[in-house]
């Protein structure tokens, strides 16, 4: 992994993006919208490995959740229309509560990836984790300069957050096998976009490469 020896644990954060029941459970929003939730759940084991290593190395750990206020006042009309077209209207009733609504069981993180005490939780109304959230303030307050990204979906929320971060000057590493796309045909192209123009959106690593880099920097 390029720049492994330049990684500073105290200046690095692991972003675990949207590993929620609404996206990874067969009873959630994604399943109702026709997505393959078994595929979206595949990175769980790799993300567990990343979390263990990040916690041991003292990285800041940030978990994001996509969802909206109960009155849906922060849900743009066009986003609502898209969810209706997908067959999963935001705010409608589901087996785990209202779809993509904060405070509902489906909106929360899956059991396997629950945050630990002291870790940061960012509730976001959009696809990118910086849009209308406190994330940037958290990162600035902790002097974070490098981000490690994982989670779902590769082509939407992971990429949206990655692009927002790059525009803000963060050095970014996306852990490819710790992400999943909603359609298998989208995974490889979404990852390939990261490395164009000399790594325009940072660098790509596997979980094993990232764990090795953390071992190098903490040795």
Where in the sequence numbering do the catalytic residues fall? Answer: 18, 124, 157
Contact between residue 146 and residue 11 where contact means Cβ atoms under 8 Å apart = yes
Q: Cβ(165)–Cβ(30) under 8 Å?
A: no
- Answer for the pair 106, 67: CB distance below 8 angstroms, yes or no: no
**Torsional sign, CA 95, 96, 97, 101:** negative
Distance of CA 13 to the CA centre of its chain: 12
Structure tokens at 74: 């922060």
Indicate left, alpha or beta for 69 from its phi (over 0: left) and psi (-120 to 50: alpha).
beta
């Amino acid at each position: 992994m390029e720049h492994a020896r330049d990684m500073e644990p105290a200046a690095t954060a692991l972003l675990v993006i949207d590993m929620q029941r609404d996206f990874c459970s067969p009873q959630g929003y994604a399943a109702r919208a026709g997505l393959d939730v078994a595929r979206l759940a595949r990175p769980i084991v790799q993300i567990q490995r990343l979390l263990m290593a990040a916690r041991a190395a003292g990285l800041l750990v940030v978990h994001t959740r996509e969802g909206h206020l109960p009155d849906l006042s922060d849900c743009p009309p066009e986003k609502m229309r898209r969810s209706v077209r997908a067959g999963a209207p935001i705010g409608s009733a589901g087996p785990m509560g209202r779809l993509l609504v904060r405070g509902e069981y489906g909106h929360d993180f899956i059991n396997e990836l629950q945050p630990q005490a002291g870790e940061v939780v960012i509730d976001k109304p959009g696809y990118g984790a910086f849009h209308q959230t406190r994330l940037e303030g958290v990162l600035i307050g902790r002097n974070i300069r490098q981000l490690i990204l994982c989670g779902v979906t590769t082509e939407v929320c992971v990429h949206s957050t990655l692009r927002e971060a790059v525009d803000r000057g963060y050095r970014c590493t996306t852990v490819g096998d710790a992400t999943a796309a909603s359609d298998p045909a989208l995974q490889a192209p979404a990852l390939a976009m990261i490395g164009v123009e000399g790594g325009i959106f940072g660098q790509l690593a596997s979980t094993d490469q990232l764990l090795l880099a953390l071992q190098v920097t903490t040795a």
